[in-house]
Chains A and B, each alone.
Chain A
Amino acid sequence: MITANYGADRGPQAGEMALLLKNRRQRSFRLYSICGMSVALVVIAILVLTIGSVNIPLGTVWKVLLSHLPLVSINEDWPATTGMIITGIRLPRILMAGICGAALGVAGATYQGLFRNPLADPYLIGVAQGAALGASVGFLLPWTFLGSFFIPLLAFLGALVAVSVVYLVARAGKTLPVTTLILAGVAIGALLMSITSYITLISDDQIHGIVTWLVGRFSMSNWEQVALAAPYIAVGIVVILIFARPLNVMQLDEEQAQQLGINVERTKLILLAASTLITAAAVCFVGTIGFVGIIIPHAVRLIWGPDHRILLPLSALAGALLLILADTASRTIMPPTEVPVGIITAFLGAPFFLVLLRRRKKAVF
């Protein structure tokens, strides 16, 4: 490999040391941030297990969790319902909230990076609208095979089909122009949404189910859902994390990125596919929860900057944290009834944006 080798064979100079030091410090800060956020996530998840329609003491929660570890024997002195509530109801619910929050956070950061637009969110090119249409059709169809997985399956398929259609419409030869993608996404999304609205209107007695699905809730989360959603979301997030650096380079325009050696079209396609996959997997079980995908990347950027190598992992962790807290609020505000979690994230979203607008001097994006 011939390189011009401009000047790497000199010793370090004074100013250079400043850069080196800053870089090293930044790396440590990022590492500590990720570790810290992960620990906080685990701690909060455990604490939140104590909260519910009946508050269970932390000690009991701890013992119940430990009792499920192999090679640990604990005297089981808690009532059976308590154990079942912790491991059968609250734990899968918290895990589902965490996984979906991570998916939405990462997908939001990826979309904002791909489209170079601070208003982009995971639902920009039709995932939510496709999933909503799939789900509402599922509510109307009388088929009962697959039981409670019928509607999530249709929602998932609806999301993928919608995005595929948007992609095919926007594709121009071998390239995928980003602006066309957004326009196609908005147009097709609007079309799908209007069909969904119509279905909701004529659904009569299913209207409850559909509207609740649209707003988003974790009330019925169980281990089967966690087992199905987790692999898709984990794989998708890992793929996106690998593409963190190319995503940084793509913040220059596409031409410059290409001139720097990035296969722009392939990168766009892979990132789009991965973020669509994780969003669809999250949304198909719990409904279209809004604002997480758009708030979290902005919040992370405010503190840690725009480098995707830190933005993406922290968006995952912060998204998980936000949604776990929002879900906890959703079941503790008006017990024993639940405020759908989508409403809570919306309540958080509006003031967040107002604060963001006022602080624009700091050039957040």
Chain B
Amino acid sequence: MIKWLVNLGSQGRKFLESLGRSGQFLFAALAGVPNPRVGFPLLIKQMYFLGVLSLAIIVVSGLFIGMVLGLQGYTILSDYGSEAAIGQMIALTLVRELGPVVTALLFAGRAGSALTAEIGLMKATEQLSSMEMMGVDPLRRVIAPRFWAGFLSMPVLAAIFSVVGIWGGLLVGVEWLGVFEGSFWGNMQSSVSFTSDVLNGVVKSVVFGFVCTWIAVYQGYDCVPTSEGISSATTRTVVFSALAVLGLDFVLTAVMFGDL
């Protein structure tokens, strides 16, 4: 029992230490005014790698999830004769929950793991050290643009996910199962609120973008610079991101929609 408590305490202390270090790390990376002449091209390059190259998986997943929602929604709603509400159901599900959450999970798997592995490998091959010795701060040169790129890409990817998902739902619900298109869009328009649904969804994806990218860059920078260290850091990125996204989603949902 005592041993268990000691173990718990030391794990907790390690976790807090790591949290503190990662906070310091993020502050050091983002503090100071970046030079736009240098920073902007780096940011664009990273947005391409993290955002544009994630588009394929986001669009395909969004489409399938929207189509599944269309099928499931129709089956359930038609039991009550209210299949016309399928539009609002798909839109609310995607905009409030699935858009931000699934995008964040996919982003952590595709872009987050790549970020961790890339930064970890740069550390292992002394590229970060050599940058330091050239008088260039790797936190600002390598970490900051990657962080901002991930942070800015996530809300856009989540929005694209929701839009494609709704289109997938339309494809199944309207084109295939024959729900009247007017009521599909009409119900959606009357029940989805821009401020309480769409904006809250955007807030979620902004928070997830922040957390997922922070975890990914920190795990890469802090990893043990060996092949084993990089592999476990990459795993940690995906696991921690997924847990953080799901946990935060509950908290945010409770705050945003708890009193509805």
A binds B: no
Chain B residues with CB under 8 Å of chain A are none
Chain A residues with CB under 8 Å of chain B are none
